[in-house]
Structure 1
């Protein structure tokens, strides 16, 4: 990991980005205290663990017969409800 003051980072942005591109981490200091880190981007595989749940495919809870709409099923269910 490379640590450098903000003024030095500003003067050498391109070189620092080259280091990050090669896999290095660059820590930027302001008044001697760390304020930021530049880290390489890690490409996540398209494996289901990294895919949000709302993007994952799912199986319907019930399957409707052909020609029977979900709205019709909802209305039928409401009519059959004891409430």
Structure 2
């Protein structure tokens, strides 16, 4: 466990987060009294729920009886146009 004052933590926050990422615990002191412990996040944390409106959607695919797609029909229509 690493113990350091708040001013030192503020100056070296990135390095302290690297230690926590490696599995170490960092205790932060303010005026000599412990105010926080930085511990690594647990792997079994609850999964983040994504709202339904943010989930990716699968586009609808309509299949005609003749097997042509809508894009193919549009291209045929454009090619057969008089203008």
**TM-score when normalising by structure 2:** 0.53
Which digits, 9 at most, give the CA deviation of each residue in 1:16-70, with x for residues without a partner?
0000000000000000000000000011188xxxxxxxxxxxxxxxxxxxxxxxx
Cα distance change of structure 1 residues 44 and 35 upon mapping to structure 2, 3 Å threshold: same
For residues 42 and 30 of structure 2, the distance between their equivalents in structure 1, rounded to whole angstroms, comes to 26
Aligned-CA RMSD value = 1.5
Cα distance change of structure 1 residues 42 and 32 upon mapping to structure 2, 3 Å threshold: same
* 1:2-81 mapped onto 2 (5 Å cutoff): 2-44=2-44
- Structure 2: stretches of 5+ with no match in the other structure: 47-83
Cα distance change of structure 1 residues 36 and 45 upon mapping to structure 2, 3 Å threshold: closer
Which protein has the larger Cα radius of gyration, Structure 1 or Structure 2?
2
Deviant stretches of 4+, over 6 Å = none
The equivalent of 2:54 in structure 1 is: none
For residues 36 and 43 of structure 1, the distance between their equivalents in structure 2, rounded to whole angstroms, comes to 21
